[in-house]
Structure 1
Amino acid sequence: MVHSFFAQEYGCKVLHFKELEALVDIVKEGLQLDGVVISTPDFNPDFIHTMQYLQQMLTLRIFFIVEEISAQGTPVPFPSNHMYISSFERYGFQEELFSRLRCWFDEGLDPHTHHTRQIKDIALHLHSKSLKVGEFVIELTCKEFELLELLLECQGQYIPTEQILHQLWDRYTSPEIVRQYVYKLRHKIEIISGRSDIILFRRGIGYSVNPLI
């Protein structure tokens, strides 16, 4: 799943390992990779020490999928944006994972190769499907990205709920789904960046991106 995702999106080789021993064997054989994704049910001190040792031998990028951290106060020496703490069984796991993987891998790429849609101090990155508000980078699910992209395309104009529903969902879906996604998106933006003024709503008219941001 992970390898095919990167092969299609970036044309590069990123492998997914569920056992550190397999990664150690790859390192010993000298196989060249662009990055590795490692999933573990238990992120414990022994795992951390092994990964620190491997990082000294590797020059590639590492992303972690973690179900549980039991480091018992041990500092986790990896950037939080290189780690996704969740369960494979959780609803929406794969969509959120791919969104985070894009942001993680795009960090090392030339920003001039990415198309962005920008209004003042907010920028929507079309390839990584992430939102930058000031200095804060917010990872978006595919549907959150599509919703925000639609609002930015019509910047300054209010889009009726029915129009959003027609363009992003099918005609059998309840309009309530639009309200739910707008609520989740506004909440995510406010929690991470502290901004609550980006998406506006007028009853009976619709939703818009604040043209004064």
Structure 2
Amino acid sequence: MFHFKELDALVDIVKEGLRFDGVVVSTPDFNPGFLHTMQYLQQLLTLKMFIIVEETGTQGIPVQIPSNHIYFGRYERHGFQDELFSRLRCWFDEGLSKDTPCSRRSKGIALNLHSKSLKVGETVIELTCKEFELLDLLLECQGQYIPTEQILHHLWDSYTSPEIVRQYVYKLRHKIETTAGRSDVILFRRGIGYSVSL
């Protein structure tokens, strides 16, 4: 895995014959010149790419996003790094082998590890990467209540407030209830932690 701030440098390296599986590209400005260079690069070599963009400057030119893995945002924005790292982990996980189970299941729900979505009954709910990671952890340990501090340790860094866990649980519960009509998927016991219904 390589990280490049200059896409032209990547083009030069590819021309020299170096081959690799995936590239993370960081650019401060998603503009027509950037698009042209990327299109040229894709003609040279099929690459798995993740693009991090600070701003869009297209000067009125319609933009066709060249990748499903693109994240717009400023590095200094609150929560940017957490969401970025979550998306990158999801991106890496797409290399799962065919032998890897495609879902985690509990009573009436299934978390798809490939599409990063939740199926409740017959309803499919799209998840953000961090929502997916939270549910994945709860389902991996289903039957157990996981303390807030343990969730925080697994999914965030030690400097993040435990309040972030409560916020994500609230968002998930709201999303599941409004989309699928279930309010009992994520359980909470004060002083013990969170779990999923069995």
TM-score after normalising by structure 1 = 0.66
Structure-2 separation of matches of 1:175 and 1:20: 38
Q: Aligned partner of 1:165: which letter?
A: T
Check conservation: 2:49, 2:67, Cα contact below 8 A.
no
- The 5 A counterparts of 1:1-213 are 14-71=1-58, 72=60, 74-80=62-68, 82-113=69-100, 116-119=103-106, 120-123=108-111, 125=113, 131-134=116-119, 138-141=127-130, 145-146=133-134, 149-150=137-138, 153-155=141-143, 159=145, 164-165=147-148, 167-169=150-152, 176-186=163-173, 189=175, 194-195=179-180, 197=182, 199-200=185-186, 208-211=195-198
**Structure 1: unaligned runs, 5 residues or longer:** 1-13
Cα deviation 1:147-204 (Å, max 9, x = unaligned): 652366335x8x5xxx63354358xx987554323123335x559x944626345797
Q: Which stretch of the first structure deviates more once superposed, 105-114 or 88-97?
A: 105-114
> Which secondary structure does the structure 1 equivalent of 2:55 belong to?
coil
Structure-1 separation of matches of 2:165 and 2:95: 34
Cα RMSD (Å): 3.8
**Structure 2: unaligned runs, 5 residues or longer:** 154-159
- Percent identical pairs in the alignment equals 51
Q: Aligned partner of 1:34: which letter?
A: D
Structure-2 separation of matches of 1:174 and 1:94: 15
TM-score after normalising by structure 2 = 0.70
TM-aligned CA deviation for residue 40 of structure 1: 0.9
TM-aligned CA deviation for residue 19 of structure 1: 0.8
TM-aligned CA deviation for residue 53 of structure 1: 1.5
Q: Aligned partner of 2:118: which letter?
A: V
Q: Which stretch of the first structure deviates more once superposed, 47-56 or 94-103?
A: 94-103
Check conservation: 2:21, 2:47, Cα contact below 8 A.
yes
Partner residue in 2 for 1:3? none
Check conservation: 2:111, 2:136, Cα contact below 8 A.
no
**Higher strand content, 1 or 2:** 2
Structure-2 separation of matches of 1:44 and 1:181: 34
- Larger relative contact order (Cα-Cα within 8 Å, sequence gap ≥ 6): 2
Structure-2 separation of matches of 1:49 and 1:118: 44
Query: Closer, same or farther in 2 for the Cα pair 1:196/1:102, shift >3 Å?
Result: farther
Check conservation: 1:164, 1:178, Cα contact below 8 A.
no
Structure-2 separation of matches of 1:32 and 1:132: 32
Structure-1 separation of matches of 2:18 and 2:104: 38
TM-aligned CA deviation for residue 83 of structure 1: 0.5
Partner residue in 2 for 1:5? none
